[in-house]
Structure 1
Amino acid sequence: MKYTKLGNSDLKVSKICMGCMGFGDPTNGMHTWTLPERESIEIITNGLDNGINFFDTAIGYQNGTSEQYLGKAIRENASRQDVVVATKFLPRSEDDMKNNISGQKHIHNMVEKSLSNLGLDYIDLYIYHMWDYNTPLYDILEGLNEIVEQGKVRYIGISNCFAWQLAKANALAEMNGFAKFISIQGHYNLIFREEEREMIPLCQTDNIATTPYSSLASGRLSRLPGEESKRMKEDYYAKLKYHSTEAQDLEIIKRVNELALNYDVSMTEVSLSWLNTKVTSPIVGATKPHHVSGAVSSVDLNLSLKDIEYLEEPYVAHDLVGVMADNKVSATDSEKVWAKHTKDKI
Structure 2
Amino acid sequence: MNYTMLGKSDLKVSRICMGCMGFGDAHSGQHAWTLDEPHSREIIRRGLELGVNFFDTAIAYQSGTSEQYLGRALRDFADRDQVVVATKFLPRTDEEIAAGITGQEHIRRMLDKSLENLGMDYVDLYIYHMWDYRTPLYDIMEGLNNAVKAGKARYIGISNCFAWQLTKANALAQREGFAEFVSVQGHYNLIFREEEREMVPCCREEGIALTPYSALAGGRLSKHPGESSRRLREDSYARLKYGAAHDQDAPILARVAELADRRGVSMTEISLAWLLTKVTAPVVGATKFHHIEGAARSVDLRLTGEECAYLEELYTPHPLVGVMAQNTAGAAGEDHVWSVGRQTV
TM-score higher than 0.5 here? yes
Q: How far 1:226 sits from its partner (Å)? A: 2.6
Conservation of the 8 A alpha-carbon contact between 2:104 and 2:140: yes
Deviations 1:290-336 (A, max 9, x none): 111100000010000000000000000000001111121699x69xx
- Conserved in 1, the CA contact under 8 Å of 2:24 and 2:35? yes
Tell me the distance in 1 between the aligned counterparts of 2:228 and 2:108. 41
Bigger mean CA offset, 220-229 vs 134-143: 220-229
Letter in 2 for 1:169: A
2:302 counterpart SS class: coil
Q: Which residue of 1 aligns with 2:233?
A: 233
User: Which letter does structure 2 place at the counterpart of 1:236?
Assistant: S
TM-score normalized by the length of structure 2: 0.95
Paired with 1:77 and 1:326, the residues of 2 have a C-alpha distance of: 38
Query: Which runs of no fewer than 5 residues in structure 1 stay unpaired?
Result: 335-346
Matches of 2:126 and 2:225 in 1, distance apart?
36
Query: What is the match of residue 243 of structure 1?
Result: 243
Distance 1:90 1:242 in 2: 24
Once residues 330 and 236 of structure 2 are traced to their aligned partners in structure 1, the CA distance between those partners, rounded to angstroms, is 28
Q: Within 5 A, what are the aligned runs for 1:132-281?
A: 132-281=132-281
- Mapped to 1, the partners of 2:330 and 2:77 lie a distance apart of 48
> Equivalent residue for 1:303?
303
Task: Name the counterpart of 1:285.
Answer: 285
Runs of 4+ in 1 over 2 A off after TM superposition: none
Partner Cα distance (1:271, 1:80) in 2? 31
Give the Cα–Cα distance (whole angstroms) in 2 for the partners of residues 26 and 18 of structure 1: 19
Given residue 12 of structure 2, which amino acid in structure 1 is its aligned partner? K
Query: CA separation in 1, counterparts of 2:329 and 2:67?
Result: 32
Alignment of 1:57-96 (within 5 A): 57-96=57-96
Equivalence for 2:51: 51
Counterpart of 2:239 in 1: which secondary structure? helix
> In the comparison of the two structures, how many residue pairs are matched?
333
What CA deviation, in whole Å up to 9, does each residue of 1:214-271 have, x standing for no partner? 0000000001233222121111111000111111101110100111011100000000
Report whether the alignment pairs 1:121 with 2:115: no
For residues 320 and 207 of structure 1, the distance between their equivalents in structure 2, rounded to whole angstroms, comes to 25
Structure 2 counterpart of 1:274, which letter? Answer: W
Q: Which residue of 2 aligns with 1:328?
A: 328
Partner Cα distance (1:53, 1:100) in 2: 39
Mapped to 2, the partners of 1:330 and 1:30 lie a distance apart of 22
Q: Give the Cα separation in 2 of the matches to 1:225 and 1:32.
A: 24
Opposite residue 32 of structure 1, the aligned amino acid is A
Distance in 2, matches of 1:230 and 1:69, equals 22
Q: Does residue 12 of structure 1 match 2:12?
A: yes
Is the partner of 1:218 in helix, strand or coil? helix
Q: Does 1:294 align with 2:289?
A: no
Given that residues 269 and 295 in structure 2 are in contact (C-alpha distance below 8 angstroms), is that contact kept between their aligned partners in structure 1?
yes
CA contact (8 A) 2:225 2:254 kept: no
The CA distance in 2 between the partners of 1:244 and 1:266, in whole Å, is: 25
Amino acid at match of 1:38: P
Q: SS at 1:261's partner residue?
A: helix
Supply the AA of the counterpart residue of 1:110.
M
Q: Distance in 2 between matches of 1:197 and 1:77?
A: 40
The whole-number CA distance in structure 2 between the counterparts of 1:106 and 1:302 is 44
How far apart are the structure 1 equivalents of 2:281 and 2:303?
17
Q: List per-residue Cα deviations over 1:81-119 (Å, max 9, x = no partner).
A: 000000000100001101110000000000000000000
Distance 1:34 1:330 in 2: 29
Tell me, in whole angstroms, the C-alpha distance in 1 between the residues paired with 2:29 and 2:223.
27
* Overall identity of the aligned pairs, in %: 65
Paired with 2:63 and 2:18, the residues of 1 have a C-alpha distance of 19
Q: Secondary structure at the match of 1:302?
A: coil
Q: Structure 2 CA distance, aligned partners of 1:330 and 1:78?
A: 40
Any idea what the Cα deviations from partners look like across 1:37-87, whole Å, max 9, x if unmatched?
Answer: 000011000000110000000000000000000000100000000000000
Amino acid across the alignment from 1:125:
L
Shift in Å at residue 28 of structure 1? 1.3
Find the aligned partners of 2:328 and 2:27 in 1 and give their Cα distance: 33
| Matched position secondary structure for 2:217 | coil
Following the alignment from structure 1 to structure 2, what is the Cα–Cα distance between the partners of residues 127 and 226? 37
**C-alpha displacement of 1:207:** 0.4
CA–CA distance in structure 2, aligned partners of residues 28 and 304 of structure 1 = 44
| 2:41 aligned with 1:41 | yes
Instruction: Check conservation: 2:187, 2:195, Cα contact below 8 A.
Output: yes
